């Protein structure tokens, strides 16, 4: 590309981006005027005022819901990872010559991965009644789908020659899988476990909103009783719980990357793995069977209802397609607008939270603030805005915007703090200010990474906007929760097909854009 074409392309890109942002602002302004915004924020201010003083007297009552939440997250992650490792040989192309089987399983897993966990939980509650069982199974299934995707990618990077060498020595498929694949995947397995645990604790904390157990059930109860002084202590407890789990996860993921082993430590770790892991698995299964506490009778009734669901799912209600498309467009609009505004904000917050650009001590305060934003599950923020603005898309927009700013800032901040010091010295030698050099040189240089982060968050926000609709914040989630309540499985089938297809299409468009930007 010559200089003239580069300048033209850059000008067109800037003009298209600006036009798109203006269009989003116009759509938002056409639906919500200044008076609506002012009144909504006054209501939120009043709500926040009613959260103080905090009612600490209910802390003893929160013990059981907190234990439920931790148990769901912890044991669903353990058992999901074990299940994934059992399924991994048939998900990868490295062990078997017949490539069609991994392709079929990957396609099925990709379709189910498009379904938000709270929708799965709501369906299970409708089938098996309220309680921990539905919440545990929903998080367990989502963890299998997530860990399978990550570990499959890692497994397919294993050196093929090593597998062929073992096969030529007459080693069985099981021995090859155990010694050549699993032994190379140990660091990744640990990392994937803690990543799923972080995601699970956020998911488990809001399962109670659909009656699937955990602390979210008590949160919903206090919100409906307008006990905002109790809502505040529940939210604070949730934030601390998620923050602690994130810290523990971060510590162990970094520990296994940096620790050096001598021979004695190696033997000790091998013995711990050899005897400890089977004990953990057996102990987890025994504990979970007691913990989920579902009667045999209730389970059988649920399986019968599952058969009714299956018959309804394979016969979608095509007359419901126009309604589905209308609400699906609302969900996509919410996700897109929240992602765009969060991306613009993250350009500035990433700079302010970068130690090497903004300064160590000044960036520390911003980092703390960003971590707080990232810790709040979007659905809890949506509930607060829902009380201010009422039912509709605006509550969902603000919830996604706040959470996405936190996540995007953290991800891009890691990119910025990984910049080579020579690049920073070069920008300083040009005599430019810190912020000007960031905008003009560094941001342009690392623009592909930023676009990748934005696109990944947009894909994720499509699912999040669906979940937020389930608590009255607009979009296709509102239709889903209503039809699940009345067990209209034919309509639910239509909604899920539309949602899955839209997510798959968006993921493929996103992948195409990412590949083009990297070139």
Query: Mind listing the pLDDT tens digit for each residue in 239-280?
Result: 888 888 878 877 776 665 545 556 566 666 666 666 677 787
Please indicate, yes or no, if residue 8 is contained in any of the structural domains.
no
Output Rg (C-alpha) for the chain, integer angstroms.
25
What is d(CA 29, CA 39) in angstroms, rounded to the nearest whole number? 15
Residue 3 pLDDT > 60: no
Question: Three-state DSSP class for 246?
Answer: helix
Question: Are residue 308 and residue 331 in the same domain, yes or no?
Answer: no
Q: What is the pTM of this model?
A: 0.85
Per-residue CA distances from 320 to 120, 148, 177, 186 (Å)? 21, 33, 47, 47
**DSSP characters for 430-479?**
TT--HHHHIIIIIHHHTHHHHHHHHHHHHHHHHHHHHHHHTTTSSSHHHH
Please indicate, yes or no, if residue 34 is contained in any of the structural domains.
no
**What's the pLDDT tens digit per position in 363-383?**
888 888 888 888 778 888 888
Question: Are residue 122 and residue 188 in the same domain, yes or no?
Answer: yes
Question: Three-state DSSP class for 292?
Answer: coil
Question: Three-state DSSP class for 480?
Answer: helix
**What's the pLDDT tens digit per position in 325-362?**
998 988 888 898 889 889 989 989 988 888 888 877 78
- Checking 355-361 for CB contacts under 8 A at 24+ apart, the result is 355/417, 356/416, 356/417, 356/419, 356/421, 356/424, 357/416, 357/424, 357/434, 357/438, 357/442, 358/434
When pLDDT is averaged across residues 161-170 and rounded to a whole number, the result is: 69
Q: What was the pLDDT predicted at 381? A: 85
Question: Are residue 477 and residue 399 in the same domain, yes or no?
Answer: yes
When pLDDT is averaged across residues 455-471 and rounded to a whole number, the result is: 86
Question: Three-state DSSP class for 331?
Answer: helix
Question: Are residue 195 and residue 295 in the same domain, yes or no?
Answer: yes
**What's the pLDDT tens digit per position in 19-40?**
556 655 555 555 556 677 778 8
Question: What value does the mean pLDDT of the chain take?
Answer: 81
Cα dihedral sign, 216-222-224-228: negative
What is d(CA 342, CA 404) in angstroms, rounded to the nearest whole number? 6
Residue in 321, 463, 476 with CA at minimum distance from that of residue 393: 476
Q: Give the residue carrying structure tokens 């209501």.
A: 43
Candidate from 13-17, 228-232, 278-282, 464-468 with smallest mean pLDDT: 13-17
Please say whether the beta carbons of 317 and 490 come within 8 A.
Answer: yes
CATH code assigned at 436: 1.10.3720.10
Question: Are residue 238 and residue 134 in the same domain, yes or no?
Answer: yes
CB neighbour list of residue 295: distance below 8 Å, 6 or more residues apart: none
Q: How many CB atoms lie within 10 A of CB 137?
A: 19
Question: Are residue 142 and residue 189 in the same domain, yes or no?
Answer: yes
Q: Give the residue carrying structure tokens 């969902």.
A: 396
Choose one of 314, 347, 365: the last residue of a domain.
314
**What's the pLDDT tens digit per position in 50-104?**
888 888 899 899 999 999 999 999 999 999 999 998 888 888 766 666 677 777 8
Please say whether the beta carbons of 102 and 91 come within 8 A.
Answer: yes
Cα dihedral sign, 234-239-244-250: positive
Question: Are residue 89 and residue 215 in the same domain, yes or no?
Answer: yes
**What's the pLDDT tens digit per position in 110-137?**
888 888 888 899 999 989 988 899 999 9
Choose one of 314, 338, 357: the last residue of a domain.
314
**What's the pLDDT tens digit per position in 209-234?**
888 888 888 888 888 888 888 988 98
The more confident residue out of 46 and 421 is 46
Residue in 25, 2, 141 with CA at minimum distance from that of residue 80: 141
Candidate from 166-180, 193-207, 381-395, 493-507 with smallest mean pLDDT: 166-180
Choose one of 314, 332, 357: the last residue of a domain.
314
CB neighbour list of residue 227: distance below 8 Å, 6 or more residues apart: 55
Using CA atoms in the order 504, 508, 509, 511, what is the torsion angle rounded to 10 degrees? Answer: 140
Please indicate, yes or no, if residue 41 is contained in any of the structural domains.
no
Please indicate, yes or no, if residue 184 is contained in any of the structural domains.
yes
* Residue 350: its H or E element: helix 321-352
Q: What was the pLDDT predicted at 260? A: 56
Please indicate, yes or no, if residue 17 is contained in any of the structural domains.
no
Please say whether the beta carbons of 232 and 222 come within 8 A.
Answer: no
Please indicate, yes or no, if residue 134 is contained in any of the structural domains.
yes
Candidate from 85-94, 181-190, 252-261, 414-423 with smallest mean pLDDT: 252-261
Q: What was the pLDDT predicted at 489? A: 92
What total of structural domains would you count in the chain? 2
Question: Are residue 330 and residue 306 in the same domain, yes or no?
Answer: no
Q: How many residues does the chain have?
A: 519
Question: Are residue 308 and residue 338 in the same domain, yes or no?
Answer: no
Please indicate, yes or no, if residue 39 is contained in any of the structural domains.
no
Q: How many CA atoms lie within 13 A of 514 on its CB side?
A: 16
Per-residue CA distances from 186 to 74, 438, 505 (Å)? 19, 38, 33
Candidate from 5-14, 436-445, 499-508 with smallest mean pLDDT: 5-14
Question: Are residue 306 and residue 374 in the same domain, yes or no?
Answer: no
* Residue 21: its H or E element: helix 3-31
Residue 464 pLDDT > 70: yes
Q: What is the DSSP letter of 226?
A: T
Question: Three-state DSSP class for 179?
Answer: helix
Range of the domain at 416: 317-518
Please indicate, yes or no, if residue 2 is contained in any of the structural domains.
no
Q: What was the pLDDT predicted at 1? A: 46
What is d(CA 421, CA 424) in angstroms, rounded to the nearest whole number? 5
Please say whether the beta carbons of 288 and 136 come within 8 A.
Answer: yes
Question: Are residue 334 and residue 301 in the same domain, yes or no?
Answer: no
List the structure tokens of 394.
């605006």
Question: Are residue 290 and residue 405 in the same domain, yes or no?
Answer: no
Residue 61: phi and psi, rounded to 5, are -75, -20
Q: How many CB atoms lie within 10 A of CB 325?
A: 14
The more confident residue out of 518 and 396 is 396
With both helix axes pointing from N to C terminus, report the angle between 489-518 and 476-485 in degrees, rounded to the nearest 10. 150
């Amino acid at each position: 590309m010559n200089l003239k074409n580069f300048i033209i392309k850059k000008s067109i890109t800037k003009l298209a981006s600006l036009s798109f942002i203006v269009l989003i602002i116009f759509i938002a302004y056409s639906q919500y005027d200044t008076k609506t915004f002012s009144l909504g924020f006054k209501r939120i201010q009043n709500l926040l005022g009613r959260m103080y003083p905090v009612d600490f007297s209910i802390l003893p009552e929160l013990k059981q819901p907190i234990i439920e939440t931790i148990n769901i997250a912890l044991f669903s992650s353990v058992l999901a990872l074990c299940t994934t490792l059992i399924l991994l040989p048939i998900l990868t192309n490295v062990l078997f010559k017949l490539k069609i089987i991994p392709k079929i399983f990957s396609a099925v897993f990709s379709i189910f991965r498009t379904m938000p966990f709270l929708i799965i939980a709501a369906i299970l509650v409708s089938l098996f009644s309220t309680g921990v069982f539905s919440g545990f199974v929903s998080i367990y299934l989502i963890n299998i789908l997530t860990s399978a995707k990550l570990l499959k990618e890692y497994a397919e990077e294993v050196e093929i020659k090593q597998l062929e060498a073992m096969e030529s020595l007459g080693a069985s498929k099981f021995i090859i899988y155990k010694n050549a694949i699993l032994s190379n995947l140990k660091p990744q397995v640990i990392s994937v476990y803690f990543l799923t645990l972080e995601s699970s604790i956020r998911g488990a904390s809001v399962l109670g909103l659909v009656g699937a157990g955990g602390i979210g059930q008590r949160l919903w109860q206090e919100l409906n009783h307008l006990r905002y002084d109790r809502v505040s202590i529940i939210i604070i407890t949730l934030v601390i719980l998620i923050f602690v789990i994130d810290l523990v996860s971060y510590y162990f993921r970094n520990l296994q990357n940096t620790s050096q082993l001598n021979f004695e430590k190696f033997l000790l770790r091998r013995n711990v793995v050899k005897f400890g892991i089977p004990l953990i698995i057996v102990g987890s299964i025994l504990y979970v069977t007691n913990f989920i506490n579902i009667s045999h009778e209730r389970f059988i009734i649920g399986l019968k209802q599952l058969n009714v669901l299956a018959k309804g799912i394979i016969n979608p209600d095509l007359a419901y397609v126009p309604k589905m498309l209308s609400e699906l467009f609302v969900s996509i609009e919410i996700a897109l607008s929240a992602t765009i505004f969060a991306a613009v904000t993250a350009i500035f917050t990433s700079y302010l939270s970068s130690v090497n650009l903004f300064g160590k001590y000044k960036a520390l305060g911003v980092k703390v603030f960003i971590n707080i934003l990232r810790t709040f599950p979007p659905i809890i923020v949506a509930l607060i805005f829902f009380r201010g603005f009422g039912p509709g898309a605006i509550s969902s927009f603000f919830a996604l915007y706040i959470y996405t700013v936190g996540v995007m800032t953290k991800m891009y901040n890691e990119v910025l703090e990984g910049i080579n010091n020579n690049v920073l010295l070069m920008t300083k030698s040009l005599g430019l200010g810190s912020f000007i050099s960031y905008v003009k040189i560094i941001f342009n240089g690392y623009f592909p990474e930023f676009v990748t982060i934005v696109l990944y968050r947009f894909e994720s926000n499509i699912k999040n906007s669906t979940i937020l609709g389930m608590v009255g914040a607009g979009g296709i989630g509102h239709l889903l929760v209503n039809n699940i309540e009345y067990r209209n499985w034919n309509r639910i089938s239509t909604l899920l097909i539309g949602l899955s297809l839209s997510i798959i299409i968006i993921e493929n468009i996103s992948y195409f854009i990412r590949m083009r930007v990297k070139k």
